[in-house]
Amino acid sequence: MTRILVAGGAGYIGSHCCKALAKAGFEPVVYDNLSTGHREFVKWGPLIQGDIRDGERLTTIMHQVKPAAVMHFAALALVGESMTDPQSYYDVNVVGGLRLLEAMLSAGVDKLVFSSTCAVYGIPDQIPITEDTPERPINPYGASKLAFERMLKDFDQAYGLKSIRLRYFDAAGADRNGEIGEWHEKETHLISLVIDAALGHRPPVRVFGTDYPTPDGTSIRDYIHVEDLAAAHLRAIEHLIASGTSETLNLGTGTGASVDAVIAAVEDISGRRVPVERGARRPGDPPKLVANPDRAASTLSWQAEKNLGDIVADAWRWHSSRNAFTQREAELQS
């Protein structure tokens, strides 16, 4: 069975990609320090616990596993936190990335799929955003991801290490079977925040800005189902194994949904009212961020298949079932 080393495979998107890999006949080997990932999410292959910055351990593991390729999700990924602690973001996302590439070169592994972000674009001049849109990140998170992307291009030219850099937009949703889903200790993603507010786990959802030049006045983002993301990562691995070239690709739906549309979708699917507080815009928030996914379609024969309703329905099922499990655990411990 062909092995794929999945750095950060115990996290939200990484775990969904492990499931997709296993279903396609690969063996995902997870390398994760479990700082933000979850041991319970490692269901489709072995877990090797370790830090992305531990070059010696990574090199040992790379030689032992001998993967055909690597998927790289191990990163810090909170925009606000990156503004207050940039040192950690460059340490993990750039230095850690370099340690990973060094381990790959040592073991002769020359294929990598990288979990990047639309944050590399900053505030774009035009919508939809193509891969040719100028890269002007406005926070250390986006800057650190872009730095690693540039490192990958240099390693391709110098060492022949091929990579697919996947810049995705707003990941959301959960596994349709409810096995895994979005579980963050510091939740910042809108759909999860709205669902938690509907469940009564959080205070009212704060809507920042109601006067944007959009149909309902709230900002618009391109929400993409995590299973669609996993499908794209699988196609990217297959592309590289088939001797495909390095590429940078946007992953999105090509359409967007406003904050109010998300709230309405949660209310419709859950049958519950979402408490909301409305306020002024946040500095730096653009009115609309939507991907042009045409290059991913032509390169990987991939396109997003799920819409906002699918995303919210699957997320609601996951959060509701996890809520019931948490309540049962609390009752057993009381």
Contacts of the segment 127-134: beta carbons below 8 A, 24+ positions apart: 127/288, 127/289, 127/290, 128/252, 128/254, 128/290, 128/291, 128/292, 129/250, 129/289, 129/290, 129/291, 129/292, 130/250, 130/292, 130/294, 130/295, 131/167, 131/248, 131/249, 131/250, 131/295
Angle, CA 102 vertex, CA 55 and CA 133 arms, to 5°? 115
Buried/exposed code over 169-200 (b: 16+ C-beta within 10 A; e: otherwise): bbbbbbbeeeebbbbeeeeebbbbbbbbbbbe
Q: What is the DSSP string of 133-184?
A: S-----SHHHHHHHHHHHHHHHHHHHH--EEEEEEE-EEE---TTSSS----
d(CA 208, CA 324): 31
Token output for 76: 């810090």
Active site residue 141: yes
Q: Check 141, 168, 212, 223 and give the catalytic one.
A: 141
> Which residues are the active-site residues?
141
